[in-house]
Structure 1
Amino acid sequence: MTELLQLALPPDLLSQIDMATLKLEPDSYLDDSGGRHYADLAATVEIRNVEFSLYILFEHKSYPDSFAHLQILNYMVQTWLRDSREAKSSRAGLPLRPVLPILFYHGPEREIPERFSEAMFSPELSSEILRYQPDFAVSVFNLSTLPDDSIAGPLDLQAALFAMKYARRDFSLLLRELNRLAQSGGVLLIHNPRFKLIELYLLHAAGLTQDELKQKIEQEVTDPVLQEDFMSTAQMLKMEGRQEGRQEGRQEGRLEEIRKVARNLEGTMSLEEIARVVELPVEELCSLLEDQAD
C-alpha cells in the first residue's frame, strides 16, 4: 500500500505522511449496492502527529459512473458518526478525525473531477446555492489516463497496475508489458504470490475463451517460464465456460468456475482478497462457498 500511495498522492501531501504509522483497517465500509461496483480499502496514518483516516475507493465499473464521490462521502460520514459515538462514550469530545479520500479509477478512459460539487451537482447551480452544499476534494488516481511510462515502483506493483489498466482494453499490450517485466525480474517476479493474484485477475477479466487465451499467450509472451505459468493458470480457470454466445447453463458454469478458483486460493489469501480477484462482493462469495458445502 505504501508504494501505491507514493504513486497516487501529490508530493507535497506525501511528504507530510509518516508511513511508519500506516495501519490497515480490517473492515469494509461499502454497502450492499456499492459492493457490486467498488472495492474499498481503509487505513489510519499520522500526518504531523495527527491521526487521519485514509480511505481508498477502487472504482472498476465497465461504464462511466460519477457516484463514487457519493460513496466516499458516505464513508466519511460513517467514520465521523462512529468517532462521535466513541467520543461521547469516553467523554473525549471533539475534534473529529480527518479523512483523506483517494479515488483509484481504472475503468474506461475519462476525466474525473476532483471536487465533490463538480461531480455531483449541476454546473448551472449558482454560487449562492452551492455554498450550502457539501464540498471537498478527492485525490484522484486515474489509471486510465496515466501514461504508461509513469507507472513505476516494484515490479509486482507495475504488473498489477498494467493488469488493471489493460486487462479489458488491450490484452495483447498487457501481455507484452508483463513479458517485459518478467524478463527484468525473472523467476523472483513470476513466482511471487502477488504475481499469481495478478495472473488470476487478468485471465479472469479478459473474457476470452481458452483457445483465444492460448493464442494470445503464444503470440505475445516470449519468456518461457512466464508462458508456461500463464498456460497452467489459464487451464486451471477453465475459461472456456466464458465463451460469448453460450446460453443455457452459462451462469452456473461461471459460478462453478468461481467456486473452484476460490477453493484453490483458500489458505493462501483472505476472503476479501479472493473476492477482489473474482470480482464478487465478499457476501456473495461466502454464499457460493456455503452452497457448495451443502
Structure 2
Amino acid sequence: MPDVGSDLMPEITNPHDRFFKEVFARKEVAADFLRNYLPADVLACVDENSINLTKDSFVDNELATHFSDLLYEVDLHDGSGAYVYVLFEHKSFPDSEVAFQLLRYMVRIWEQACRQRQLKKLPPIIPVVLYHGIVNWKISRKFSGMFEHPRALAPFVPDFSYLVCDLTRYSNDDIRGMVLLKVTMLLFKYIMSEELRGQLPEIFKLLKDLSDKESGMEYLQTVLIYLSKSTDKINRENIKEALKIAFPSEGGEIMPTIAEEWIQEGFERGMQQGMQQGMQQGMQQGMLQTARNNVLDILEARFETIPQSIFKRLKEINDPDILKMLLKKALRLSSMDEFRKTMNIILE
C-alpha cells in the first residue's frame, strides 16, 4: 500500500475534532472500532490488526468546522490492501450532500496513491460516516441516491455505498468495544443531549478499571478537557459531582485532585475561545439574518406570496448550515407547499 500521508497533522481547533483524532489515532481504538462496527462480511475481508493511521486530512477547509476525518490503511486477507476512511460529522442534523463529499475525498485519496506508486488497480476504500447529531440519519447511503433519472440512464450514474454509524439509533447496550472506545462513543452520543448530565456518572464508572494506569489517567484528562470545552449541557459542578459518584474516596472527596486541574484547564481554554467567539457573535448574527433574507428573497421571487408560518420558522433558525440547505431547496423545489414540507422534514 502506498503511504498517502504527510508528516504533520493539521492544526486542530474544534473540540469535537480534537477529541475524535486524539482517541481514534490510537491503533487499538481504531482496530476495536473496525471489529465492532464494520459489517461481518466486510470485517471478514480485513485484517483489523494491520490497521495503520496515515497523517492526512481530505476535508475541505470550509467544511472543517463540521467534519473531521481519518484515513487508515489495512491489509486484506487475500494479500492486497485497502483503505478505511472515517468521516466524523459533528453536526446537529445529517448533511444531505455527504455522499458527494465522500466521493471527492475518495478521489483525492486515489489520486494521491497513484502519484506515490504506480498502481495497476486502485485499492478499495471503505467509507464510514460516524454521526452523533440530535436527529436520526435518514439520508440514502448510496451515492446514486443523489440522482433522479430515467431507468435507462442508470448505467451512466456512478454509484458506491457508505457505512453510517448513527449513534442516535444506538442504545447504551448497543455501543460495544473496549473501555476507551465505548466511553468515547457514549460521550459522542450524549454530548449534544440534555441527557448528558444524568449519563455522565455511568460513563465515568467505565473508566474505573483504567484509573490506576498511566494510559487511563491520560485518557481521563482528555475526556475532562473535552467535556469542559465542547458542550453547554453541563457545567463544572456537574462534572465534579459525576466524578465524585464514579470515583468515591475516603471522606467523600473527588478522586485525584489533579482532575480538578484538568477541568479548570478545559474551562479556561473554553473561556478564551468564548471571548474570541463573542467578538464574532455580532457579525455572525448579521450573517444569519442575511442568510434568512436570501431564502425569503428567492421564495418571494419564485412564488410571490410567503406564508407567515414560513416567516416564523425561518426566524427561529440559527444554524447557517440549515439556512444554506434551505436556500438550495428554495431554488430547486417547484412549489411553496413542497418547500414547506421539505423544511418541516429538515427541522424535525
TM-score > 0.5, shorter chain as reference: yes
Contact 1:241 1:250 in 2 (8 A): no
In structure 1, the residue matched to 2:236 is 213
> RMSD between aligned alpha carbons?
3.0
Percent of aligned positions with the same letter in both sequences? 26
Deviation at 1:6, TM superposition (A): 1.3
Matched, 1:126 2:155: no
CA separation of 1:230/1:143 partners in 2, compared to 1, >3 Å: closer, same or farther?
A: farther
Distance in 1, Cα, partners of 2:269 & 2:65: 24
CA separation of 1:44/1:18 partners in 2, compared to 1, >3 Å: closer, same or farther?
A: same
In structure 1, the residue matched to 2:329 is none
CA separation of 1:6/1:253 partners in 2, compared to 1, >3 Å: closer, same or farther?
A: farther
Deviation at 1:148, TM superposition (A): 0.9
Task: Show the 5 A alignment for 1:244-283.
Answer: 249=275, 251=277
Look up the equivalent residue of 2:40 and give its one-letter code. Answer: P
Structure 1 residues 85-142: Cα deviation after superposition (integer angstroms, max 9, x where no partner): 445xxxx452122211111111223124321222x335xx433344322211112211
CA separation of 1:214/1:18 partners in 2, compared to 1, >3 Å: closer, same or farther?
A: same
Matched, 1:143 2:170: no
Deviation at 1:177, TM superposition (A): 2.2
Distance in 2, Cα, partners of 1:190 & 1:77: 37
Q: Equivalent of 1:10, from 6, 25, 39?
A: 39
Structure 1 residues 17-47: Cα deviation after superposition (integer angstroms, max 9, x where no partner): 1234322111111121122211100011121
Distance in 1, Cα, partners of 2:270 & 2:87: 31
Distance in 2, Cα, partners of 1:233 & 1:160: 18
Task: Show the 5 A alignment for 1:198-237.
Answer: 198-207=223-232, 212-215=235-238, 217-218=240-241, 221-222=244-245, 223-224=247-248, 225-226=254-255, 228=257, 230-237=259-266
CA separation of 1:25/1:183 partners in 2, compared to 1, >3 Å: closer, same or farther?
A: closer
Distance in 2, Cα, partners of 1:101 & 1:190: 29
Q: How many residues align?
A: 241
Secondary structure in 2 aligned to 1:39?
strand
Look up the equivalent residue of 2:206 and give its one-letter code. Answer: L
Look up the equivalent residue of 2:89 and give its one-letter code. Answer: E
Distance in 1, Cα, partners of 2:62 & 2:269: 29
Deviation at 1:82, TM superposition (A): 2.7
Look up the equivalent residue of 2:143 and give its one-letter code. Answer: F
Distance in 1, Cα, partners of 2:229 & 2:202: 18
Q: Equivalent of 1:176, from 197, 201, 210?
A: 201
Distance in 1, Cα, partners of 2:217 & 2:89: 26
Deviation at 1:233, TM superposition (A): 2.3
Distance in 1, Cα, partners of 2:172 & 2:240: 21
Task: Show the 5 A alignment for 1:46-65.
Answer: 46-47=75-76, 48-65=78-95
Q: How high is the TM-score relative to the length of structure 2?
A: 0.61
CA separation of 1:231/1:31 partners in 2, compared to 1, >3 Å: closer, same or farther?
A: same
CA separation of 1:194/1:121 partners in 2, compared to 1, >3 Å: closer, same or farther?
A: farther
**Larger Rg over CA atoms:** 2
